[in-house]
Chain A
Amino acid sequence: MIQRLTIAALMLAIVALLRTAPAQAEPYLAVMTGYKCNVCHVNPTGGGLRNEFGVTYAKLLLPAETVDNTLDAWTGKVTDRLRVGGDLRADWTRVTTPNSPSQQSFQLEQLRVYADLTIIPDRLGLYVDEQIAPDGSINEEAYVRYGNTQDGFYIKGGQFYLPFGWRLQDQTAFVRQVTGINMTTPDKGVELGYEHAAWSAQFDVTNGAANATTGQGYQVTTQVVYTKPIWRVGIAGSSTQSDLGDRRVGGLFAGLRTGPIAWLAEADLVRDESLPGGRTLTAGLLEGDWRLRKGHNLKLTAEYEDPDRSVSNDQQTRYSIVYEYTPLPFLQLRAGYRHYFGIPQNNTQNQQVILMELHGYF
């Protein structure tokens, strides 16, 4: 086993050296390893299709047990120019709301496929992220990318996720809901990005969700991240001009590794003039991921939201404990419990959720 791990570590080191810059998967893994997003993902801002290093990491270092099979040669490449991948998440959830009967159900949360076609190596490529179930095909990302996403400037145009804060797996996190920038809200526009050494920066001009039907106004989003081996810090901002009312969002986020624990923190401030009278909202997240042993991760999360700074006694919190077990390459089991705390007169703000998830990916 030790020999196998040594070989795996060597392979990763070689792959990492061959690439001028590495990528990330779940953000806690990035903090744990000290990698930037583009070390494990084709998309320089993270998420979606894994690159060769990401696939190798998922095969060899993430799971509790590596297995010898035909997938040993799999790196996501179909041809020299075409790379594919996918994620399937199937859930069972039980939601208990005060004064209401519990609701439980199995759900296919998502089946997504990714593809990246390299037209000119290290310069020009096409990327597609398509959710094909449930509810039929929905395009999440589709863009053309020009430039070097590993070291230097790049530009991409089309539909893509906006860079803002931690790109968490849980899209219902308060920081992702309050900012409105998450992996359910891709937008159309262009992104200018820069990757060099410890620096990563993006500048986006997009339609803005509020302007999807009016055709007026834009959303401008920018993010800068500085990454060191055991810590990182980032700042992000977004401004949307809309007939419905302007919306400005600012956020600070940071990561720190202390021994076996990766810490993630984010604080966001939103000023939304589209809400009646205009409102200022805040949201915060603190997450600790404890890598108990290889393939086992305990995720503890505390979240805070103030839906209107001018109103007292309306704050909400949410606490989660999720155990993530990755027994084999490309298979993850997750089980967890979330408890929402809100004002006592609102039942849905005091829900409890038990979840189990089967996550397959390649």
Chain B
Amino acid sequence: MESVKSLVPPASRACIVLASLVIAACAGNGEGLDANGRPLVPGGGGALPPLSADFDSIQANIFTPICSVCHMGGSAPEGLRLDAANSFNLLVGVPSTEVPSLLRVKPGDPDNSYIIQKLEGHQAVGNQMPNGCPTSQPCLTTSTIAFIRQWITNGAPPSATATAAATVHAAAPLAITSIVPDDLEPVSASPPQIMIAFNHDLDVTQIDSRSMHIEKLNPGAPPVVSEIIPAHLTVSSANPGALMVWPSLPLSSGHYRVVINAGTPPQFSDIAGHSLVVGAPDELGDSVISTFDVEVLP
């Protein structure tokens, strides 16, 4: 004891006592907060499942609490919505809008997946995500990104819940499960793509650029088509259940709808031969998949 005292002068001992008092500050007990440290709201979630290299866990631990704060709804940057309903379809096998040569998630190849480069802060893909990291919030740790890497290395399989549901409902007719932008939804910028998700994998041999187009409507009753915007259609082999409709030019402010081209045999069927069931034609006689408003901010 005496030797320790001789090693540490009185001033240092005083500082050590002071430091010990400061160190006594404790972490929060988390009471009344969700797993992201935000106040609980009625119906909100509680404790998170442990982070692992599967889509459900990554969605719950990363995409939902961190990314979907911004990447959600009609103002989602780059049209990329990372809420649980849309993230898989808008990530896997989909070219990024910032660097179209890179897929957002390239199954089996994390190094050449845009999301990994974006999270790790590679210069070629612009600002590091999460947005403002490390300025206004921490970047994801290497170990956290490692789980996403491993999921991609494993082939970026979909949610176990979605896979189970698809198996159970294999005999159901082909139907649309979600659309981005959704019907009657306003978006704050020209959407780089319109995503149409289906309950079954599509038969891609029947789909080409004649299958669908986008129309701009002038207001009126009935509305008048003022412009037809050709669209390029893609279905990624990594995710054959999602159809991407790429407008051939940026959409200016206005009212739009996505239309299945008329006068052709049913072009949307799944790999089991089930044809797409769409609603009755609208007042113009067209099969409309979605209508949405673009409100480009100045």
Contacts and interface: CB of A to CB of B under 8 A. Distances in A.
Contact of A304 (B25, B35, B135): B25
B69 A343 contact: no
Contacts of B143: 95, 97, 103, 351
A81 B122 CA distance: 33
Which of B69, B120, B135, B142 counts the most A-chain CB atoms under 10 A from its CB? B135
A291 to B, nearest CB: 11
Nearest to B150: A103
B135 A314 contact: no
B122 A288 contact: no
A275 B120 CA distance: 21
A307 B127 contact: no
Given A258-B11, A260-B12, A311-B37, A180 B135 contact: yes
A313 B48 contact: no
A3 interface: no
B16 A313 contact: no
Given A259-B11, A313-B31, A345-B46, A276 B69 contact: yes
Interface in A52-99: 93, 95, 97-99
Contact of B33 (A176, A182, A288, A313): A313
A62 B138 CA distance: 33
A100 B15 contact: no
B52 A100 contact: yes
A63 to B, nearest CB: 22
A224 to B, nearest CB: 22
Nearest to A300: B19
B205 interface: no
Contacts of B132: 180, 209-210, 244, 274
Contacts of A98: 50
Nearest to B140: A348
B135 A342 contact: no
A312 interface: yes
B144 interface: yes
Given A103-B143, A345-B33, A247 B135 contact: yes
Contacts of B46: 345
Interface in B114-142: 120-123, 126-127, 132, 134-138, 141-142
B11 A315 contact: no
6 contacts: A100-B50, A259-B8, A260-B8, A319-B23, A343-B27, A343-B30
Given A100-B52, A103-B146, 20 more contacts: A100-B50, A176-B134, A177-B138, A185-B134, A210-B135, A210-B136, A258-B9, A258-B11, A258-B14, A258-B15, A261-B16, A263-B15, A274-B132, A276-B69, A314-B30, A314-B38, A317-B25, A319-B23, A342-B27, A345-B34
